[in-house]
Structure 1
């Protein structure tokens, strides 16, 4: 529970009206969604598809104790005049962000910011586990990682929080700079540079520039943790002092790297150069998740937590839903659901891992379009071809117009009984996949969220 008075809020957001008569009223939560308001809330009416100001009466009904307001006070409903406190500002979104910055200063936790083309949510969850071994931690929930979600995350932070972990997402240049300048990280993590949103940046170099914006608000002696084998970052991190840089990756050139990795269907374990005598266990599949864990462990080390103390917490961490999870499927099959996000690098990584599993039935992959790849879409979809081996995967089922180029390229590799392509309505795809599944089969389903293969997952799940 947070604790702010109307007086504190009014000062933080630069109120342009007199709120003195309400100055001692306490606020214990903040939200822009009237459905999530509780007694004692501050309501933040935002301008979007709908104008939040139109819902002020509903906000009061649901427990709001005060509201921000960017319209004329004469626009308040008559029944609220003189009876309900509003804090008038020029821009409610800017006021929300200013209030978050104020509250962050009031609580004064260490701040860990996380961004990257892939793996940032998993790394956030792992970092939470690592840091919870020593600190009271608050983290971004779900995908609340943009210019609205990040300040809300801060404002949901209990007053006793010692470390806050903030995921930072973006689709355009400049967006992470805004988040970093607000959060002012003590530790910044870049998980990887991939191809997500390349449509808006033109190249991976452009994406690397955007991810480096996380350093914009980095505190004077803050630390950047990044993949040391990424050349696009090696040329850009020179803006920081050497003492501010920590690297992770697979090779010995990094500050933290694995000496051995053992990847299984439901877990992955490894040992590091930091503690060769200590096995780190992860309750998730994928050698690619080792890098995420290394970044989390490095964040812990940076904040004074030795690996031997944090590693046991990693063995129990909870992965955010829809991130590479095994589900029970129809006909006694197993579904590997990874249909929340996709880019070529991530798709190849999970395919390479999935291909190594041993099972009693077939291995089937259902791959959907990867979105926001712009004019490089065809080339980037084609890159997935090398991770599809007919000796290890029995059936490839592709969905979406962007997958057409991969379908054509695979015709020379897979026979007509093993390669299929669907466009349009999901029902024919679902019915077809249902007929392919037998006991012991493994089915990998991966795509961008906008492709909506999650609906296929739900249909095939027991």
Structure 2
């Protein structure tokens, strides 16, 4: 819970109206959605497709104690404290900056084409071994969600972990300047949002915007083997650099890795005697853990003190999550997000699992790949090994081309590759008829493709 008075908020934002009548009204939360308004909230009426000012009465009914206001004061509710500002969104962001400075936690900011949320969850576990920690919840990682995350931070927070998402250039810079990170992490450079940015090089440039607000002598943690980032950090000054990755040239790298169905264990160069365990599949998740461990070391937590916390970290839902499926099968649900690099990695790790049944892969269209979409989708086919995968189900118009390529190559039996577009019911029904005890099934796609509905239909009751 936060604690700010109307007077304090008005002064922090340079209110355009007189609010002294309401000086002592206490605000304990901040929100913009009247349906989720908490008692004691400051209502922030944002202007988008709808003008949030229209819903102020709903906010009051649901417990709001004051509101920011950029409409004419004549339209404001009577006998209710409003703080007049020029732009309610900018005021929300300014208030977040004010509150962040007031509480004064260390700030860890995380961005990347894939692995942001998993790295955030791992970093929380590492930091919680020493500090009181607050982190981004759900997908509150944009120009609205990040300020709300900050303004939901308890006043005794010592480390705040902020996920930073984007769809276009300039957006991460805005977030970084609000947050002013002590530590910035780039997880990886993939192809997400290439439709808007045009190339991986442009994506790398955009992700590097995270350093825009980094404090002097702050730290940038990044994958050291990514050439596109190597090029962009070589002339940086005033920022410390820390690298992670598989190669021994990185500051932190794994020595041995063993990935199993529900956990991955590894050792690292910093302390080879410690076996580190993470409760998720995938050697690619080791990189996320290395970034989190490096952030911990930067803030004074040696690996010997933090590694045990990683074994217990809680992964955000629908990200490489095992669910029990029908007929005694097991579903690896990774249906929240997808880009070609991430899809190939999870297929590779899934292929290496040992089981007594079939291994089945269900892949859906990856979105926001623009003019390169066909080429990038086709690149997935080389990750599908008929010696490791028994059946492949492909869903969506872009995945149709992958199915045709697999049929033409004849690496798989023709009846082992299936293609579906439109209604998912036939896809679900066919998989249901094929799933047996001890079968493993991987389901991976962009969230907008909605293979989560397939996951739900295949789960055991």
Range of TM-score over shorter length? over 0.9
Counterpart position of 1:4: 4
Residue 449 of structure 1 pairs with residue 439 of structure 2: no
| Alpha-carbon contact 2:132-2:157 (below 8 Å) kept | yes
For residues 220 and 130 of structure 2, the distance between their equivalents in structure 1, rounded to whole angstroms, comes to 21
Q: How does 1:22-33 map to 2 (within 5 A)?
A: 22-33=22-33
Residue 70 of structure 1 pairs with residue 66 of structure 2: no
Counterpart position of 1:143: 139
Give the structure-1-normalised TM-score: 0.98
| Alpha-carbon contact 2:218-2:239 (below 8 Å) kept | no
Residue 212 of structure 1 pairs with residue 225 of structure 2: no
Counterpart position of 2:434: 436
> How far did residue 243 of structure 1 move?
6.3
For residues 162 and 388 of structure 2, the distance between their equivalents in structure 1, rounded to whole angstroms, comes to 39
Give the structure-2-normalised TM-score: 0.98
For residues 42 and 427 of structure 1, the distance between their equivalents in structure 2, rounded to whole angstroms, comes to 45
For residues 140 and 280 of structure 1, the distance between their equivalents in structure 2, rounded to whole angstroms, comes to 25
Counterpart position of 1:423: 421
For residues 242 and 255 of structure 1, the distance between their equivalents in structure 2, rounded to whole angstroms, comes to 19
> How far did residue 238 of structure 1 move?
2.2
For residues 133 and 306 of structure 1, the distance between their equivalents in structure 2, rounded to whole angstroms, comes to 10
Counterpart position of 2:157: 161
Q: Deviations over 1:193-224 (max 9, x none)?
A: 00000011111000000000000001011000
For residues 284 and 48 of structure 1, the distance between their equivalents in structure 2, rounded to whole angstroms, comes to 39
For residues 427 and 357 of structure 2, the distance between their equivalents in structure 1, rounded to whole angstroms, comes to 21
Q: How does 1:13-28 map to 2 (within 5 A)?
A: 13-28=13-28
Q: Deviations over 1:424-452 (max 9, x none)?
A: 11111111111111111111000000000
- SS in structure 1 at match of 2:65: strand
Counterpart position of 1:255: 251
| Alpha-carbon contact 2:217-2:238 (below 8 Å) kept | no
For residues 248 and 386 of structure 1, the distance between their equivalents in structure 2, rounded to whole angstroms, comes to 27
Counterpart position of 2:348: 352
How many pairs are equivalent? 458
Q: Deviations over 1:272-315 (max 9, x none)?
A: 00000001000111000000000000000000100010001000
> How far did residue 242 of structure 1 move?
8.1
Change (3 A) 1:113 1:27: same
> How far did residue 35 of structure 1 move?
1.9
Counterpart position of 2:385: 389
Counterpart position of 2:327: 331
For residues 337 and 39 of structure 2, the distance between their equivalents in structure 1, rounded to whole angstroms, comes to 36
Residue 52 of structure 1 pairs with residue 52 of structure 2: yes
Counterpart position of 2:396: 400
For residues 238 and 302 of structure 2, the distance between their equivalents in structure 1, rounded to whole angstroms, comes to 22
Counterpart position of 2:412: 414
> How far did residue 7 of structure 1 move?
1.0
Residue among 298, 303, 320 paired with 1:302: 298
Counterpart position of 1:236: 232
- SS in structure 1 at match of 2:156: coil
Counterpart position of 2:317: 321
> How far did residue 126 of structure 1 move?
0.2
| Alpha-carbon contact 2:216-2:239 (below 8 Å) kept | no
For residues 294 and 9 of structure 1, the distance between their equivalents in structure 2, rounded to whole angstroms, comes to 39
For residues 137 and 358 of structure 1, the distance between their equivalents in structure 2, rounded to whole angstroms, comes to 37
For residues 423 and 40 of structure 1, the distance between their equivalents in structure 2, rounded to whole angstroms, comes to 48
Q: Deviations over 1:218-273 (max 9, x none)?
A: 10110000000000000101242386000000011000000000110000000000
Q: Once structures 1 and 2 are overlaid, which stretch shifts more, 54-63 or 170-179? A: 54-63
- SS in structure 2 at match of 1:2: coil
Q: Deviations over 1:379-418 (max 9, x none)?
A: 1111111110111101000000011221111112222210
For residues 38 and 195 of structure 1, the distance between their equivalents in structure 2, rounded to whole angstroms, comes to 38
Residue among 186, 193, 207 paired with 1:190: 186
> How far did residue 86 of structure 1 move?
0.7
Q: Once structures 1 and 2 are overlaid, which stretch shifts more, 342-351 or 48-57? A: 48-57
> How far did residue 14 of structure 1 move?
2.2
For residues 430 and 33 of structure 2, the distance between their equivalents in structure 1, rounded to whole angstroms, comes to 40
| Alpha-carbon contact 2:220-2:239 (below 8 Å) kept | no
- SS in structure 2 at match of 1:64: coil
For residues 36 and 136 of structure 2, the distance between their equivalents in structure 1, rounded to whole angstroms, comes to 16
Q: How does 1:257-276 map to 2 (within 5 A)?
A: 257-276=253-272
Q: Deviations over 1:2-33 (max 9, x none)?
A: 01110111122221111011011110100101
